[in-house]
């Protein structure tokens, strides 16, 4: 199973919501991890759409970025106002880091006091905790998944957990400091979709074509970059399509046209077709610039569709 890790920003949530309607028969292959960052109407409608499709998901209750960091009661209000009491096909997710480890007793007390009808708990391990605390958590909580962030833990750490709970997490997106730096670049992403079961995991997770770094707000870029996942020799790769007129921030629509023309030509040459790629084709043919947020949404949708078509 694929566990795409997304922050609850507007266009990331819209991508998930639209995927629900595009691929209702494939939703059993994914269980998104959502780290909510704003108490928006978009997160509520997205959760409601998951409920409508009987889709499984993981909602983090202790986000480490965004407006909802430390706002536990507001997150519970989002859940209660979006998810009917009879619906239980979801997990509450908890980030395990040094801050959580210092307050494990408080965490357990808070979770067990919740009057919610959820499936169980997903722990996202961003640091290693000792065996005593692992046993304590297992005894006190119904842990469904242990998501092990490999870049932040040692390779031996995951052996501390029941194999039928293990999900691997890594950040495979190679981020550049400026969009212009992606010009004429492509890179390997991962092969986890092929090997996670062989490695003893029930699922795998990544940060898609966004990466783990979080930014509160966008800014007008000098270059427009579209990040497109594709499959080559069983390897997921990312190709970057970047505008050429990158001297200043003027004419973002023109920069988009330069980038999308490259994307469509390359996809046509390689006979690549996903729902998102077809939307890119339509935008290019109509000469329509939908905004930078939509480009991010389509990149996310393309990545998830590519994964679910190959697992």
Q: Is the pLDDT of residue 101 over 90?
A: no
Mean pLDDT over the full length of the chain: 94
* pLDDT confidence band for 229 (50 / 70 / 90): very high
User: Where is 129: in which H helix or E strand?
Assistant: none
Structure tokens at 205: 């997770």
Classify residue 25 as exposed, middle or buried by CB count within 10 Å of its CB (0-12, 13-18, 19+).
exposed
pLDDT tens-digit series, residues 255-311: 999 999 999 999 999 999 999 999 999 999 999 999 999 999 999 999 999 999 999
pLDDT of residue 216: 75
More confident residue, 228 or 39: 228
Q: Is the pLDDT of residue 168 over 90?
A: yes
CA 3 to CA 6: how far, in whole Å?
Answer: 9
Q: Is the pLDDT of residue 209 over 90?
A: yes
Q: pTM for the full model?
A: 0.95
* pLDDT confidence band for 217 (50 / 70 / 90): low
Q: Which residue has the tokens 């065996």?
A: 131
pLDDT tens-digit series, residues 40-53: 999 999 999 999 99
pLDDT tens-digit series, residues 132-164: 999 999 999 999 999 999 999 987 899 889 999
The predicted model gives 223-237 an average pLDDT of 96
pLDDT of residue 80: 94
CA 169 to CA 157: how far, in whole Å?
Answer: 13
Q: Does residue 208 contact residue 11 with C-beta atoms inside 8 Å?
A: no
pLDDT of residue 12: 95
How far apart, in Å, do the first and last CA atoms of the chain sit?
8
Tell me how far CA of residue 184 lies from CA of 105, 220, 227, 239, in angstroms: 51, 21, 12, 8
pLDDT of residue 95: 95
The predicted model gives 61-67 an average pLDDT of 92
CA 30 to CA 179: how far, in whole Å?
Answer: 30
pLDDT of residue 250: 85
């Amino acid at each position: 199973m694929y566990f795409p890790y997304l922050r609850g920003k507007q266009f990331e949530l819209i991508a998930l919501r639209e995927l629900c309607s595009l691929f209702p028969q494939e939703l059993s292959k994914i269980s998104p991890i959502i780290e909510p960052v704003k108490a928006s109407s978009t997160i509520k409608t997205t959760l409601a759409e998951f409920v409508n499709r009987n889709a499984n998901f993981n909602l983090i209750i202790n986000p480490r970025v965004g407006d909802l960091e430390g706002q536990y009661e507001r997150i519970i209000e989002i859940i209660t106002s979006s998810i009917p009491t009879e619906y239980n096909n979801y997990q509450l997710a908890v980030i395990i880091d040094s801050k959580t480890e210092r307050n494990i007793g408080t965490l357990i007390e808070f979770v067990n006091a919740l009057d919610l009808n959820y499936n169980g708990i997903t722990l996202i391990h961003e640091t290693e905790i000792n065996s005593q605390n692992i046993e304590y958590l297992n005894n006190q909580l119904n842990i469904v998944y242990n998501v092990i962030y490999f870049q932040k833990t040692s390779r031996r750490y995951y052996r501390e957990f029941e194999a039928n709970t293990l999900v691997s997490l890594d950040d495979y997106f190679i981020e550049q400091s400026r969009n212009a730096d992606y010009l004429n670049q492509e890179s390997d992403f991962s092969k986890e979709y092929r090997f996670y079961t062989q490695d003893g995991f029930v699922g795998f997770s990544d940060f898609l074509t966004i990466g783990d770094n979080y930014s509160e707000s966008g800014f007008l870029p000098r270059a427009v970059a579209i990040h497109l996942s594709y499959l080559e020799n069983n390897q997921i790769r990312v190709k970057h399509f970047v505008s050429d007129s990158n001297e200043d921030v003027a004419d973002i629509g023109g920069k988009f046209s330069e980038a999308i023309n490259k994307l469509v030509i390359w996809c046509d040459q390689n006979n690549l077709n996903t729902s998102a790629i077809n939307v890119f084709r339509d935008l290019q043919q109509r000469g329509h610039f939908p905004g930078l947020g939509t480009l991010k949404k389509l990149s996310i949708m393309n990545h998830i569709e590519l994964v679910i078509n190959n697992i």
